Homo-oligomer: A and B are copies of this chain.
C-alpha cells in the first residue's frame, strides 16, 4: 500500500503554474531563425505549427515533476522540457504523414503536412529533432558538460532505432497483422513509453542524485498506463473530444489493448497500473507528490 494518493485536480493546479513558462521556452527555442530560410521557405512556420498547438505537454511536465523531486533548477528543467516537446512534436509530425498514419487532424487543427505540404512537414520534423539536441548542448543551458552528455545519452537511447523510432517501425509493419500481447507491450514500450521514461529520467538527471531505480519502475508503469488510456480513449471518445480522428486504430485494424483485453478489462488495467505507479514512488516519500498526481492525471484524462 502506497503512502501517497494522487490527485488529477492537484496535478492540474500544479501544471497550470508551469504552462506559460513552458510555452515561453518553446517559443524561445524556435526563435533562432535564419533570415534566408525564413524568407524563402515556410519551414519555420511549419515547425511552429507542429510545436505551438496547445499540446498537453505531458513530457515537459513529467520532466519538471521528476526534476523538482530532485531539487533541479527550474531554468535548466524548462530547457530540457522544451527539448522533449520538440522531440514529441517531431514524432507527431512524421507520424501524421500520409506514408505513416495519414492523419489530417491533430489537436483540432490541420496536421503540418495538410497546412504546409509533405516536404515541409518532413523537414520540419527533421529540424525539430536536431533542435532538441541543439537545446541540450546550448551554452545557455547552465550545467556541467558531463550532465549534458548524460542527458543526451538518455534522450538518444530513448528515441532511436532501439527506442521510439523502433517502436514506430514495429507499429507500421503490423497494421492489419496480429501482434501477441507481449509484442504489443514491447512496441508501445518503445514507441510511446521510451520518451516518457526519458522525460522523467532527464528531469531527475538535472538535479541531486537520488536512487533512480524506483523512478524507473514508476516510469515504466506510467508509460504503459499512458498507452492503455490512449487505446481506451481512441475506442470510446469522439474525434471532437480528442481533437484528433477517433476510432482510427480499430479502423486501421491495429493491435490495441482494447482489442486484446476488451474495453472493461482495459479500464481495470489502467487502475492496476495507477496503483503500481503509486507503490513505486513510496521510497521518495512526499517529495514525489507531483509524480503521484501526474499518474492520477494520466489515468483520468479524457483526451
Contacts and interface: CB of A to CB of B under 8 A. Distances in A.
Q: Of A41, A167, A179, which is in contact with the most chain B CB atoms at under 10 Å from its CB?
A: A41
A106 B152 CA distance: 32
A166 B34 contact: yes
* 3 smallest beta-carbon distances between A and B, as pairs: A99-B118, A37-B166, A43-B169
19 contacts: A34-B166, A34-B190, A36-B170, A37-B190, A43-B161, A47-B161, A94-B123, A97-B122, A99-B118, A120-B169, A120-B172, A127-B161, A129-B129, A130-B161, A131-B160, A134-B156, A137-B149, A137-B153, A138-B153
Nearest to A145: B145
Contacts of A47: 161
Contacts of A40: 169-170, 173-174, 179, 183, 186-187
Contacts of A149: 137, 145, 148-149
A162 interface: yes
Number of identical protomers: 2
A119 B100 contact: yes
Interface string A139-182: 10000111011001100110111100111111011100001000
A187 to B, nearest CB: 7
A14 interface: no
A88 interface: no
Nearest to A87: B130
Nearest to A43: B169
Interface in A93-111: 94, 97, 99-100
A170 B39 CA distance: 9
A169 B123 CA distance: 7
Contacts of A120: 169, 172-173
A44 interface: yes
Q: Number of contact residues on A: which range applies?
A: 35 or more
A127 B183 contact: no
A122 B133 CA distance: 19
B122 A44 contact: no
B129 A157 contact: no
B165 A36 contact: no
B100 A166 contact: no
Given A131-B161, A134-B157, A152-B152, A37 B145 contact: no
Nearest to A135: B156
